[in-house]
Amino acid sequence: MKAQTGTDRLGSRTALPVRLADDLRGRLAAQEWSPGEQLPTEADLVDSYGVSRATVRQALKTLEERGLITTKRGLGSFAADVGTIHAGMQELKSISATIAEMGHRPGMRYHHRLLRPPTAQEQDMFGIGPDEQVLDIQRKIMADDIVVAYSYDVLPRWVFPADFKPKDLTGSVFGFLADNNGPTPIRALANVKAVSDLSVAWDGALAQDELFLLLDQLHYDEQNRPFMYTRSYFIEGRFAFTVMRTTR
Amino acid sequence: MKAQTGTDRLGSRTALPVRLADDLRGRLAAQEWSPGEQLPTEADLVDSYGVSRATVRQALKTLEERGLITTKRGLGSFAADVGTIHAGMQELKSISATIAEMGHRPGMRYHHRLLRPPTAQEQDMFGIGPDEQVLDIQRKIMADDIVVAYSYDVLPRWVFPADFKPKDLTGSVFGFLADNNGPTPIRALANVKAVSDLSVAWDGALAQDELFLLLDQLHYDEQNRPFMYTRSYFIEGRFAFTVMRTTR
DNA sequence: TCTCGTATAGTTGTCGGACAACGGACATCT
DNA sequence: AGATGTCCGTTGTCCGACAACTATACGAGA
């Protein structure tokens, strides 16, 4: 009767509040409640989803932190007006997934990918020795065949299978790791900068005064190990970045 | 004995989990636990702070979403290694407060501030009529007397007291609103862009090829009303922006 | 009729206790 | 030595209860 065993009205086997939050997010995106309108009360959600109030409250909390709803004590929760649910810079997803969610066709073109010894900085960053190798990637990322970003990535050798060859990597890096028993990204610390550097593009396909939004980020896995460093140069104007800022 | 009535080990009258999270954040910043080290268990925190486990869990949850700790079922919560606690772009604070937290002395210099009729776009954005006025602000924001940003702000007239004169506004806008019964910012939706436009600086104090990180944001209050639109041009390199990106 | 305080119902915030699910450590068996 | 089972500590989820808060309705008094 309860959702303990698996599927009641929600998906399969991830954390219960996460599934509930995702479901509500979908209903919000579908405009089930117009902006400012009151959502079902916590008690109603408990009944309709068959989960405990603690679970409901945690799901509502994350939606509130993401700015999709506001909750007022003694009154209820209300839908915020964010017409298009913004993907949001703070959600950690692969660039390809983000492009797909925006309704475009993701693609990529590898400029090079090779195994090489790590620099001193990379040894320190990944906690590896000078004899362990790293995979060095340079690629273009495209949406509907239009270049939206140039990305420079570095990963330590251990994230890949023992018999890995650089040529095996074709599509999304995250996708490859998920399929090959690699680490799962849990979070990333990103530095955001504005840059204007002609040399980021190796194909000379850009205008003189091209601007980039640089996301300089280090990804961590479940064990809190840094396993991927990326510098992604997004061509200004071809990719929208939004951040929902909330007070704690 | 319990923290119900007010202060036990925490501050005064904000939400309990928020106070707890802030306290733990401080202890984390003070390196009370080294990276990877286990924090007290939820049961321990319940005892030491005199709050319920629900409160403890909610506080830990927000710390986890901010990337300060990681929690593993059956094991415990562990301090993440983020040497300097990054302010974070997703925390909604006034620029002045952020500068102060970074250990610098905030300052600002108003270029102009005047009441004027709203543009059509502003009427739509704030939901006001053409006869209501808006306050138009242009100012420089400084840290230790160094200019770090140029900011263009627009607020509808109703956020200010009836007898308000533009000259009354001297320091932080958020501070003024808090002191004068104005709306409290709850969240802001920010667009992040890289720009290179000489005309943003009215004092001609910038070099030719100056770069900016533009935060184009709309602030909302508790009633979900937009009440402040700001375009802040941060001079690249003088202000660090980080985003902790997490999977939901 | 209007104003003001009070009662009331509805909702979220916090509390306490309980059990299930999970991961590690250790003992046991083969 | 290696595999297997058991125990124990911790987090995940559930349940029920009460406090705190808000808006509304109502009634007393002017």
- Alpha carbon distance B188, B174 (integer Å): 13
- Alpha carbon distance A153, A192 (integer Å): 16
Minimal CA separation from B150 to chain A, in Å = 15
Per DSSP, helices labelled H in chain A are 16-29, 42-49, 53-65, 95-101, 120-126, 173-179
Count the neighbouring beta carbons within 10 Å of the beta carbon of residue A248: 16
User: What pLDDT is attached to residue A218?
Assistant: 92
User: What pLDDT is attached to residue A6?
Assistant: 31
Higher pLDDT, A209 or B241: B241
User: What pLDDT is attached to residue A40?
Assistant: 94
User: What pLDDT is attached to residue B5?
Assistant: 31
Residues of chain A contacting B89 with CB distance shorter than 8 Å: 89, 192, 243, 245
Minimal CA separation from B192 to chain A, in Å = 5
The phi, psi pair for A198, rounded to 5°, reads -65, -30
Find the angle CA(A88)-CA(A90)-CA(A94) to the nearest 5 degrees.
80
Amino acid at B105: R
pLDDT at residue A34 is higher than 60: yes
- Alpha carbon distance A22, A10 (integer Å): 9
Q: Over the range B217-245, which residues count as b (16 or more CB within 10 Å of their CB) and which as e?
A: bbbbbeebbbbbbbbbbbbbeebebbbbb
In Å, the largest CA–CA distance within chain B is 63
pLDDT at residue A180 is higher than 90: no
Cβ of A213 within 8 Å of Cβ of B193? The answer is yes
End-to-end CA distance of chain A: 36
Distance B223 CA to C2 C1' (A): 30
Work out the pLDDT band at A171, boundaries 50, 70, 90: confident
- Establish whether the CB of A59 is closer than 7 Å to any nucleic acid atom in strand D: no
Work out the pLDDT band at A207, boundaries 50, 70, 90: low
User: What pLDDT is attached to residue A2?
Assistant: 31
Work out the pLDDT band at A51, boundaries 50, 70, 90: very high
CA-closest candidate to residue B161, choices B135, B139, B127: B135
Looking at the complex, does the CB of residue A198 fall below 8 Å from at least one CB of chain B? no
pLDDT at residue A12 is higher than 60: no
Per DSSP, helices labelled H in chain B are 16-29, 42-49, 53-65, 95-101, 120-126, 173-179
Looking at the complex, does the CB of residue A172 fall below 8 Å from at least one CB of chain B? no
- Alpha carbon distance B90, B187 (integer Å): 9
Residues of chain A contacting B192 with CB distance shorter than 8 Å: 89, 192, 213, 241-243
Which of A55, A243, A244 is best to mutate for the B interface (most B CBs within 10 A)? A243
Structure tokens at B152: 């263009």
Higher pLDDT, A204 or B147: B147
User: What pLDDT is attached to residue B9?
Assistant: 46
| Mean pLDDT for all residues in chain A | 85
* Lowest-confidence region among A3-7, A20-24, B75-79, B242-246: A3-7
Q: Is A144 exposed, middle or buried (0-12, 13-18, 19+ CB in 10 A)?
A: exposed
Higher pLDDT, A43 or B10: A43
User: What pLDDT is attached to residue A3?
Assistant: 32
* Lowest-confidence region among A11-20, A169-178, B19-28, B181-190: A11-20
| pLDDT tens digits, one per residue of A100-137 | 877 889 999 999 999 999 999 999 999 899 999 999 99
User: What pLDDT is attached to residue B235?
Assistant: 92
- Alpha carbon distance A159, B72 (integer Å): 21
pTM: 0.81
Looking at the complex, does the CB of residue B209 fall below 8 Å from at least one CB of chain A? yes
Q: Which residue among B89, B196, B248 places its CB closest to the CB of A245?
A: B89
Cβ of B186 within 8 Å of Cβ of A62? The answer is no
Residues of chain A contacting B86 with CB distance shorter than 8 Å: 189
Q: Alpha-carbon Rg of chain A, whole angstroms?
A: 21
The tally of CA atoms less than 13 A away on the side-chain side of residue B92 is 22
Task: Say what percent of chain A tops pLDDT 70.
Answer: 91
pLDDT along chain B (248 residues), means of 10: 36 77 89 90 94 94 88 91 63 85 88 94 92 94 92 94 90 88 86 86 75 92 86 90 80
Higher pLDDT, A29 or B12: A29
Beta strands in chain B (DSSP E): 69-72, 76-79, 106-116, 134-143, 146-156, 185-195, 212-221, 226-235, 241-246
Q: Which of residues 39-58 of B touch A (CB under 8 A)?
A: 54, 58
Q: Alpha-carbon Rg of chain B, whole angstroms?
A: 21
Cβ of A243 within 8 Å of Cβ of B192? The answer is yes
| Contact call for residues B132 and B157 (beta carbons, < 8 A) | yes
The tally of CA atoms less than 13 A away on the side-chain side of residue A112 is 7
